[in-house]
Chains A and B, each alone.
Chain A
Amino acid sequence: MRRKPGIAGLIREKEQQSAYGAVGEQLEADKDQQARQHLETLQSSLKSFASKHRNRINSDPQFRKSFCDMCIAAGVDPLSSSKGLWDELLGVGQFYSDLSVQVLTQCMRTRDENGGLLDLRQCLANVRRARPGEKLALEDLERAVECLAQLGPGVSIRFCGRQRLLCSVPDELSGDTAQVIELAAASGGKVCAADLLRKGWTTDRADQALLHCIREGLCWVDKQDEAVPLWCWFPSIALAELEKPMSESTA
């Protein structure tokens, strides 16, 4: 587009732009229309698939996961709890809403003993106990947490090495605190100053980080090890390790 100098030029430019604008809008509108139609077709296929396989979706975690992946790939949100045909046909939205309430309850119930850090495996074990007979997998919990995220910040999943923790700590965890937790997660749930020194931390930094965890009620202390003056234990991680049966490689 060539720019013409002067006021006339400016007016001309504006007209051109608005002309382009009008065409552009029309193009967008057409695209929109097409996209919407495409989406509706897709949604309706998904809905009929879902309704046909509803029982299997609700009872088989692997199948459920595949179904949700398929929805996401198609740009359709399986967690949407909006009313309408989707929910009625499916109950999947309901399934995850209910589960997310369970997860939140678990976080609140265990807050006093773990300071707001709940190992996802322990959460799963607790929820399984509350809903016997229903097959639940870790992915279901993860989706439930996503459901919760729609309501607002408050519960998130932190990755600590190979472990995953449900974090309902009100404040952001600082880098140092997060590293302490990660270290603990890699060693069955406990960590001491010497562990941090081995990672190159100074004594001060290690002590401060551990003190912070203790002050925030994130960990329990053990002072009876003759070799180690102070152990910080993250009970949820430790308990999840204890509950892990021998035959299971990953929860």
Chain B
Amino acid sequence: MADGKDFQYPAFYQLPPFFTLQPHASVRAKQLELWKQLISEYCSFHRLFIINLREEPLFRNAQLARQLPSEARKVLAEHLVQQQAALWADEAAKERLLVLWRSVAGWADLILQWAAENGLMGSVETVQSLMDGEAAEGQEFYGAPRELIMAALQELVRRNRATLFRGSSGSEGVKFLSA
């Protein structure tokens, strides 16, 4: 969590028009870019993985009496996904976003590095243990949502550095492979 220092909002956050979807194409592009950066920094700062489009307090500036309308939030979310700055946590409902303040590849690197450093090459781990196991405590990915861990592991599978399977008890497992 934040270590005493407050999150620094960008200057634009204090301007009312930041919360209205801009009609002009380049201005809108700039606006979406600014929001994308803000969301990434905000989530990274607070170690937030998932934001709920409807409820997220970041989209509302009470002091200015302004908030990003739901239509604008949808456009923003689509932009984030298109820019690979986020993934839908729920493809069907499209209400929750998994924010990638670190890229999937970046998360994959972290997990792989941790596995190598802890002598886990060739051994089998449960996906659950990555999320909340003792060995993973203190790691950046500790406490990350399942969707993110799975996305990172699938990236490792693509790189031939892991295989995923379902264990006899029904739990998902991963085997890390040496290079």
Q: A224-B66, A239-B11, A243-B11 are in contact. Are A231 and B24 (CB under 8 A)?
A: no
Instruction: Give the nearest-CB partner of B34 in chain A.
Output: A113
Against B, the Cβ 8 Å flags (1 = close, 0 = not) of A186-220 are: 00000000000000000000000000001101001
Interface residues of A in 154-187 (CB under 8 A from B): none
Counting contact residues on chain B (CB < 8 A from A), the size range is 20 to 34
Residues of A contacting B25 with CB < 8 Å? 217
Q: Which of B12, B20, B66 counts the most chain A CB atoms within 10 A?
A: B20
Instruction: Establish whether residues B27 and A112, one from each chain, have CB atoms under 8 Å apart when the complex forms.
Output: yes
Instruction: Tell me which of B11, B23, B29, B65 contacts A112 (CB under 8 A).
Output: B29
Give the CA-CA distance A238 to B64 in the complex, in Å: 14
Complex interface: chain B residues within 8 A of A238 (CB): 15
The answer on a CB contact under 8 Å between A220 and B27 is: yes
**Do the beta carbons of B65 and A224 come within 8 Å of each other?**
yes
Residue from A112, A224, A243 in contact with B19 in the complex, judged by beta carbons closer than 8 Å: A224
Contact of A214 among B12, B24, B29, B65 (CB under 8 A): B24
- B83 CB, nearest partner CB in chain A, Å: 16
In whole angstroms, how far apart are the Cα atoms of A215 and B22 in the complex? 11
Cβ-based interface call for B26 (8 A): yes
Asked if B84 lies at the interface with its beta carbon under 8 angstroms from chain A, I say no
Contact A113 B30 (CB under 8 A): yes
A115 to B30, CA, bound (A): 11
A242 to B67, CA, bound (A): 20
- Contact for A242 among B14, B26, B65, CB less than 8 A: B14
| B145 on the A face (CB < 8 A) | no
Instruction: Tell yes or no: B17 within 8 A of A by CB.
Output: yes
Q: Which residues of B contact A93 (CB under 8 A)?
A: none
A220 and B17 within 8 A (CB): yes
Which residue in chain B gives the minimum CB-CB distance to A226?
B65
A127 at the interface (CB under 8 A from B): no
Once bound together, how far apart are the Cα atoms of A217 and B22, in whole Å? 10
Nearest Cβ in chain B — how far from A130, in angstroms? 16
A83 beta carbon closer than 8 Å to chain B: no
When the two chains form the complex, which single residue of B23, B29, B34, B67 contacts A221, counting CB atoms closer than 8 Å? B23
B34: chain A residues within 8 A (beta carbon): 113
Given contacts A223-B20, A224-B20, A224-B65, contact A217 B14 (CB under 8 A): no
B16 and A231 contact, CB distance less than 8 A? yes
Give complex CA distance A221, B23 in Å. Answer: 8
Residue A225 at the B interface, CB < 8 A?
A: yes
Q: A220-B17, A221-B22 are in contact. Are A112 and B66 (CB under 8 A)?
A: no
Q: Shortest beta-carbon distance, A147 to chain B, in Å?
A: 28
Q: Are B26 and A233 in contact (CB under 8 A)?
A: no
How near does chain A come to B46, taking the closest CB pair, in angstroms? 24
Query: Closest chain A residue to B69 by CB distance?
Result: A224
Q: Which of A111-156 contact B (CB under 8 A)?
A: 112-113, 115
Could you mark each residue 28-63 of chain B with 1 if its beta carbon is under 8 Å from any beta carbon of chain A, else 0?
011100100000000000000000000000000000
A214 B23 Cβ-Cβ under 8 A: yes
Give the shortest distance, in Å, between B10 (CB) and chain A (any CB): 10
A231 to B11, Cβ gap below 8 A?
no
Give me the interface of A with B, judged by CB distance under 8 Å. Answer: 112-113, 115, 214-215, 217, 220-225, 231, 233, 235, 238-239, 242-243
Listed A/B pairs (7) with beta-carbon separation below 8 Å: A112-B30, A113-B12, A113-B34, A220-B22, A221-B22, A224-B66, A231-B16
> 5 additional contacts, CB 8 Å, given A112-B30, A222-B20, A224-B66?
A217-B27, A220-B15, A220-B22, A224-B67, A243-B11
